[in-house]
Amino acid sequence: MLDSLLFLLGGIRNTLLIASGAAILAIVLAFGVGVLREAGGRFLDVALTIYVELFRGTSLLLQLFWLYYVLPLVGIDIPPLAAAIVGIGLNYGAYGSEVVRGAFVSVDKGQAEAARSLGLTPWRVLRLVLLPQILPVVIQPLGVLAVQLLKATSLASLITISDLSFRAYQLIQVRSGTGPVFGVVLVLYFVSAQAIVALTRRADRAAGRWRHLAPGRSPVARAFG
């Protein structure tokens, strides 16, 4: 039993590595694409919209297969671990960008216009006026996506990565006891998901304190404060 548990723990290490890398990529894409679709020109908006709709409108499993099995046919070889991180990150980055873009749309555009008229650069408008308002809105939805991303890492086993799900199937092939093996796998996924939930709640509380740092003062006034 101890050997089996250690074998499964080696798989959860790969699962968490994929989840961490994909989550970082997804967050960067979510904010980058979400901001650029609102602030960029029409051509950029069209290009980014194609990316978002393509990755939201097709299967994640199909996207992983394209990255790992199809691209080598045209001379682009991607290691399985990198393919999993890039594929999952691109997929959930597309979903996250819609969350961020929706939060930007909910902010009154007059605030950004007023800040720019007072001499703030676009970066300062984003950092001091817009982000303090959208972060409390997007943290919880992005946390939900992060939990879904963790569960989606099980698809990495289909491109030869020895993650938690892959090792569970391997263990069942050589030992009896399907119930106990998948019971341990369930617990490991659940504990990992609860860690993400706890981090999300902590980040949400921190963002809430940021939002109320100066009650009664407008975001533009705080930017100059």
Length of the chain in terms of residues written: 225
Task: Outline where the chain has alpha helix (H).
Answer: 2-39, 42-57, 60-65, 80-106, 109-117, 122-124, 131-152, 164-174, 178-211, 219-224
| Rounded CA separation 103/11 (Å) | 37
Residue 30 has pLDDT above 50, yes or no: yes
**Cβ pair 112, 193 in contact under 8 A:** no
Residue-wise pLDDT for 38-56, tens only, equals 776 788 889 999 999 999 9
Nearest to 21 by CA among 29, 11, 32: 29
Residue 175 has pLDDT above 80, yes or no: no
Q: Which two tokens stand for residue 209?
A: 């304190």
Residue-wise pLDDT for 90-130, tens only, equals 999 999 999 998 888 887 777 777 877 777 777 777 777 77
More confident of the two residues 178 and 17: 17
- Which range is least confidently modeled, 51-65, 115-129, 183-197? 115-129
Q: Which residues, in sequence order, are CB contacts of 60 under 8 Å at separation 6+?
A: 87, 88, 91, 152, 155
CATH number of 2-224: 1.10.3720.10
pLDDT at 142: 94
| Rounded CA separation 191/194 (Å) | 5
pLDDT at 213: 41
More confident of the two residues 34 and 149: 149
User: What is the average per-residue pLDDT within 174-190?
Assistant: 82
Under DSSP, is residue 11 helix (H, G, I), strand (E, B) or coil?
helix
Q: Where are the domains of the chain?
A: 2-224
Q: Which two tokens stand for residue 182?
A: 């998948």
Q: pTM for this structure?
A: 0.85
| Residue whose tokens read 């499964």 | 8
Task: Give residue 100's identity as a one-letter amino acid code.
Answer: V
| Residue whose tokens read 């100059």 | 224
> 107 exposed, middle or buried (CB, 10 Å; 0-12, 13-18, 19+)?
middle
pLDDT grade for 223, boundaries at 50, 70 and 90: very low
pLDDT at 94: 96
- Which range is least confidently modeled, 51-60, 64-73, 137-146, 216-225? 216-225
| Rounded CA separation 221/20 (Å) | 37
| Rounded CA separation 101/134 (Å) | 9
Residue 71 CA, chain-centre distance (Å), reads 24
Task: Give residue 145's identity as a one-letter amino acid code.
Answer: L
More confident of the two residues 105 and 202: 202
DSSP letters, 31-49, are HHHHHHHHHS-HHHHHHHH
pLDDT at 211: 55
Mean pLDDT across the chain:
85
Q: Which residues, in sequence order, are CB contacts of 213 under 8 Å at separation 6+?
A: 222
| Rounded CA separation 42/219 (Å) | 28
